[in-house]
Structure 1
Amino acid sequence: MSGKIALVTGAAGAIGRSVARRLSANGAAIIVADIDFEGAERVAAGLDGAMACAVDIRNAASVDAAVAATIERYGRLDILVNNAGVNTLAHRVTIDEFPAEEWDRITGIDLDGLYTMSRAALAPMLAAGNGGRIINIASVVGLAAMRLQSPFVAAKSGIIHLTRSMAIELGAKGILTNAIAPGSVMTALTAKLFYGDDGKFAGRTQEFLAHVPLGRPAQPEEIAETVLFLASPAASYINGQVLAVDGGWTAGYMM
């Protein structure tokens, strides 16, 4: 990855931080982008040649500024990892009870924000004519729906088909677009929901893991390894694919 420039959104969080570190360890220069600028600065401080960047992917002006800062400093952009995303802790309810404002918040970040970020990042990629990689972080719930999180399911399934559409449109221009669909990953949100003493689903952890053949959640570093593969020369003929990194959860029903 030496000489490559990679922008990672949501890079102050567990998965994004691991992705930034893994790409950096393999020689890429990283733009650590997050709405939490202080968090982004902490991550960037530990990476050679990295730049922290405050970005709200819901805001086109903020996104454009992040891309402009990238080009000003590095002169190019080769890899975009659309990792930023949210779900909800408080509103695990059926769709008829789901608050409209929370629906808008989740889909606005997870799907609309991904579009806004991709559109801005593509401008310098296409102008340079050197190809590029876009890696979208979707979810297994985009492949197999789960209850009580309808906007997250809708957004992540949208990402999957958007990834395929982008691959068809951009492949001929040398830009490869793929998605990763993580299963349960040990992030702060997962820890709070399933493993905290006061977690909403703390009593159902073993029931959930019984459907995962490997019997455990992924570590953020395992998602980062998959991003590294898709960003690397080893994935030069992979385009429009969705790679589930879920311990086998979507392979079939465990009984």
Structure 2
Amino acid sequence: MCLALCGAAEAGSIPCGAQNFSDPLRLSRVQADRAAGAPLRVLAIGSSSTEGVGATSPQFSYPAQLQGELARRIPGAPVTVVNAGIGGEKADATLARLRSAVADGGFDLVLWQVGTNDALAGGEVGPFRDMLREGIATVRNAGLGLMIIDQQYFPAIKDGRRYRAFVAAVREEAAAARVPVFHRHDMMQAWVDAGGAERLEAALAPDRFHMNDAGYACLAQKLAGVIADAAATAGPMASAQPAQTVQ
């Protein structure tokens, strides 16, 4: 297990672990741009986990830490990660913003964090699946790379069966569309399995729901590794023919 501290966050830092919780990401557009020395442009869109609720400052949100990690791992060209997170938002509202953001262009990769608020708000999983499919089609039709970030795990899940159904919806719809997923839920559950509740809580804010600086650093570090690998490895672009989800 990796005992190095994750990212730049120092207070309460935790071991991230060496396990990879991402499906393979293939981005020939990123590779082509990098070969030409063009910037790498990433849109991080979602709700409070993207906005950075729980971090001590915006610079410790996962998109901000991801930008630093990518700049370190993919030297030679500017890296920009745009934080388009809005706390409390469900998939329908994020989808409306996603349509506008990709229509404007200017991005190579979309990181879509989705599903937690939908699972907690009492809606049905069927319409949520429909929104996932529409969001995937929106990004794909724009010719952009896409990775979906699924729901977080947290200690106070009241209806575990319902919550897991929404986690499964992300996994299954992404697999059907051949879109890679970063399995955040599995990552956080693995922290509990490896180190007990104390290890998970070391990555959580005082509300025991959102991540803290160290938790976001782990997320950024893991995502950066996958994106950097994609930028360095030849293969079809995720939006056109994504890697198959690995269970």
What TM-score comes out, normalization by structure 2 length?
0.50
Contact 1:179 1:240 in 2 (8 A): no
Q: Which residue of 2 aligns with 1:70?
A: 101
Secondary structure of the structure 1 residue equivalent to 2:184:
strand
Aligned length in residues: 168
Shift of 1:168: 2.2
Secondary structure of 1:5 counterpart: strand
Counterparts of 1:47-196 in structure 2 under 5 Å? 56-57=89-90, 60=92, 62-76=93-107, 78-82=110-114, 85=117, 106-108=121-123, 115=129, 118-139=132-153, 149-151=157-159, 153-171=160-178, 175-181=179-185, 182=188
Matching of residue 4 in structure 1 with residue 42 in structure 2: yes
Listed as ranges, the gaps of 5+ residues in structure 2 are 1-29, 31-39, 71-78, 205-211, 231-242
Please give the secondary structure, in 2, of the residue aligned with 1:4: strand
Calculate the TM-score normalised by the size of structure 1. Answer: 0.49
SS of match in other structure, 2:203:
coil
Equivalent position to 2:217, from 225, 242, 247: 225
How big is the shift at 1:233?
2.5
CA 34–214 in structure 1, closer or farther in 2 if over 3 Å, else same: closer
Q: Equivalents in 2 of 1:155, 1:118: separation in Å?
A: 17
Question: Does the residue aligned with 1:13 lie in a helix, a strand or coil?
Answer: coil
Does the alignment pair 1:14 with 2:38?
A: no
Which fold has the larger relative contact order, with Cα–Cα distance below 8 Å and residues 6 or more apart in sequence?
Answer: 2
Matching residue's letter, 1:224: Y
Distance 1:164 1:12, change over 3 A: closer
Shift of 1:217: 2.5
Instruction: Output the CA distance in 2 between the equivalents of 1:28 and 1:116.
Output: 30
Q: Which runs of 5+ in 1 are unaligned?
A: 37-55, 87-103, 186-209, 242-255
**72, 77, 82: which one aligns with 1:30:** 82
Larger-gyration structure (1/2):
1
Shift of 1:214: 4.4
